[in-house]
Structure 1
Amino acid sequence: MASTSFDEIILRYNDAVLRQSDLVTLEGPKWLNDRIIEFYFSYLSSFYPSEHILLVPPAITYWIMNCPDTNSLQDFLKSLNLPSKKLIIFPVNDSDDVSRAEGGNHWSLLAYEKTDIIMTV
């Protein structure tokens, strides 16, 4: 079996790309990275499609959190059609260094669920 480079592309799935180095993170007690989460979100969206659920990739979440241009941000958010979604999942990384890709030490999932409120009088 031929050896593989640490950064060799192993899998392309929709827009997600996994490299050998990404697979190494799954072998032990290591942090998940952006590409693993993006791949899994892409996989879930393909196998369980729903127009009411939005799984936002980590890079998009990070851009939304750190976008300095509010006009660009507003235009982009409109394209996501957020009001039509019943569930939106954002993977949030604690990195505050926008100059460094894949930084941070901790992931959280921010979930927004829209519920119907019924008022009775």
Structure 2
Amino acid sequence: MASSMQDKVALSYYDSLLRESDVALLIGANWINDKIIGFYFEYLEHELFSDNRDQVCFITPDVTQFIKIYNGPELSMFLDPLGLSDKDLVLLAVNNNASSEHSGGSHWSLLVYVRKENTFYSWDSCHSLNLLPSQQCAQKVTPFLSVPSQPVFSEVPSCPQQTNGYDCGVFVLLFAECSCSVHLRDSSADKTLQSINNDNCVQFRVRCLELIKKLSLN
């Protein structure tokens, strides 16, 4: 791993800071990290779905990890400013790391709350591997949604599955785009789901690299 002196900043974008080592994870068979996921969540919020910013909240991996691990007033400090009670759609990038002190984990999945259905949907590209941490996050977030009844928790039926051990994070980002397109733009769910597979993961990595390069020149 390059030292912080050698690991140059590749992009500063809103609250995201990507270094060259982060961007390199998009090349080849690599497991993408929380920095890449956080950056793309920012891009979805500020660019692709900027017209819907009042309706949707993208909760980044670092905040999601805090939600999963901690209780009490600290949780309110993070979640109250997000105004979740006014959001139609809430997306969280969930990791199966159980430590409050160390980074790690082996799998990413997406948790989406849809207000009009009062349902949490777990999008997991590896069957139910992240079921427990997703349920933990849903339980922690629920009090901040201001809903009249307990939300339903559901695993997405026919959720596209990865066929390798490293594309889970890319699937999360494709799932996030799909969810926003379906619930904010009324796109066809079946058509959108058909566009998510391992070939699309390869294409996404290339597209994301080009996007980072383009934004870095602005």
Q: Which structure shows the higher strand fraction? A: 1
- Cα 1:116/1:37, change in 2 over 3 Å: closer
The percentage of aligned residue pairs carrying the same residue is 36
Q: Which structure shows the higher helix fraction? A: 2
Q: Which residue of 1 aligns with 2:12?
A: 12
**What aligned pairs does 1:30-109 form with structure 2 within 5 A after superposition?**
30-47=30-47, 48-49=49-50, 50-68=53-71, 70-101=72-103, 103-109=104-110
| Equivalent residue letter for 2:66 | W
Shift of 1:72: 2.1
In structure 1, C-alpha distance between the alignment counterparts of 2:60 and 2:19, rounded to whole Å: 17
- Cα 1:66/1:116, change in 2 over 3 Å: closer
In structure 2, C-alpha distance between the alignment counterparts of 1:75 and 1:17, rounded to whole Å: 23
| Equivalent residue letter for 2:59 | V
| Equivalent residue letter for 2:62 | A
Q: Deviations over 1:57-106 (max 9, x none)?
A: 110111111124x12212432221111100000000001122212x1110
In structure 1, C-alpha distance between the alignment counterparts of 2:78 and 2:100, rounded to whole Å: 19
Q: Under a length normalisation based on structure 1, what TM-score does the superposition of the two structures give?
A: 0.84
Check the 8 A contact 2:8/2:20 in 1, yes or no. yes
| Equivalent residue letter for 2:111 | L
Q: Under a length normalisation based on structure 2, what TM-score does the superposition of the two structures give?
A: 0.48
Partner of 2:116, secondary structure, is: coil
Partner of 1:115, secondary structure, is: helix
Check the 8 A contact 2:63/2:78 in 1, yes or no. no
Check the 8 A contact 1:89/1:109 in 2, yes or no. yes
Q: Which ranges of structure 2 fall in alignment gaps of 5 or more residues? A: 119-218
